[in-house]
Amino acid sequence: MGFLSYLGHRHQVQALALVPPGFHPRPAPLPVQQRYVDSRPWEPVMGVVTHPWEPLQVGFHRERRLARALHESLKTFRPHVVILVLSRIAWLLPHVQGIPTVVDFVDSLALNMRMRARMEPWLAPLWLWEASRLAVWDRQVLKRAGTGVAVAERDRAAIVGTQAQLCSKLKVIPLGISVPSQPLRTPSPTPTLLTTGNLGYFPTVQGIRWFAHHVWPRLRKAYPKLRWIVAGARPSRRLQGLAKVGVELICEPDDLTPWRQQATLAIAPLFAGSGTPIKVLEAMAWALPVVTTPHAAQGLDALPPGALLQAQKPAEWYEAVATLLDSPQHAQEQATLAYHWVQSRHHLPQVTEAFEHLLLSLANHG
């Protein structure tokens, strides 16, 4: 939405999106034109059955009505550049021949699946099979597209793999977020941990449950007044038992600002996933000190030393959190360093300008 809002006031933009059953999309920002295609329940199954050689992620998003809507839009809107968001939509590439096209991979779905296989060994054969097919698919897509973009070097390397000739076609444009010019925080006098994000996303759910079992009991014993707030959208049923261990679950908050303002520090126990951990960026943008895993930190390019505490094992997590709770000065120095890094690298206006420059370059040479 951030990119659309910025580009929509400088260019004519039309957004075409597939809407899953039961999902109610937010309106696109004005003056962006918008068109939604409702997914029919049987279409994902048909996509998988009729294209068994493709990754499941692609088959699930093969909708003939989406292709027809795209053809209609191309006839009436006549874009200079087409952006396909996520490689699972790149089956539409043959439908936009002759128009410069950017595939926004965002992250590496193949890497995501490989990491998930490590966390769910009982389903590992399925995730590894899907990961291998996604890796092949992504490289084929990159060869056919005008160019591609990803949010982090880790994902760029995973997508390109051993095919070094593709490096020049895949650009890294950092994830853009809104960064307050001066985050006005009023931390609660009660020490408070904060975890935010999509509470239905597997890496988030798995990480929260792991922390609740392996680290939280020891922290509660050492800091009896300590609070842990978990706030986000679409909470998984697997998180319903958090209240029994003293965790405050905030479901579907309209605004996370109040929780970020009062928190002492943010924790992001992420052991899987890909791309850039947006929950970490958002915490840093609010000048919150953060503890996360080395895996999550790999998605943060050019992060200066001292801007983040990393922990893997339960004892490391306890020590990292305790360090920030016991040393407010240390926590403040870390948060300040991280805030300036986010502001310089991930602030939405400058990231969008870089993306706009790429689009204009393609349009001018198309």
Report the pLDDT value the prediction gives residue 27, as an integer from 0 to 100: 79
3-state secondary structure of 271: coil
Rounded to whole angstroms, the Cα distance separating 74 from 96 reads 8
Q: What's the pLDDT at 352?
A: 94
Domains, the chain: 2-176+348-365 (3.40.50.2000), 192-345 (3.40.50.2000)
Structure tokens at 47: 């996509």
CA distance 67 to 216: 49
**Inter-CA distances, 19 with 23, 50, 112, 142, Å:** 6, 21, 23, 25
Report pLDDT for 366: 60
Residue 255 CB partners (closer than 8 Å, separation 6+): none
Which pair of tokens denotes residue 23?
A: 């999902």
Which pLDDT tens digits describe the chain residue by residue (366 residues)?
678 888 888 899 999 999 887 777 777 777 889 999 998 888 888 999 999 999 999 999 999 999 999 999 999 999 999 999 999 999 999 999 999 999 999 999 999 999 999 989 999 999 999 999 999 999 999 999 989 999 999 999 999 998 988 999 999 999 999 999 887 788 888 999 999 999 999 999 999 999 999 999 999 999 999 999 999 998 999 998 899 999 999 999 989 999 999 999 999 999 999 999 999 999 999 999 999 999 999 999 999 999 999 999 999 999 999 999 999 999 999 999 999 999 999 999 999 999 999 999 998 876
> Can you read off the two tokens belonging to residue 298?
């790999």
Cβ burial 203-223 (10 Å sphere, 16+ → b, else e)? bbbbbbbbbbeebbeebbeeb
Phi, psi at 344, each rounded to 5°:
-80, -25
- pLDDT value, residue 1: 61
Q: Are strands 290-292 and 309-310 parallel, antiparallel or unpaired?
A: parallel
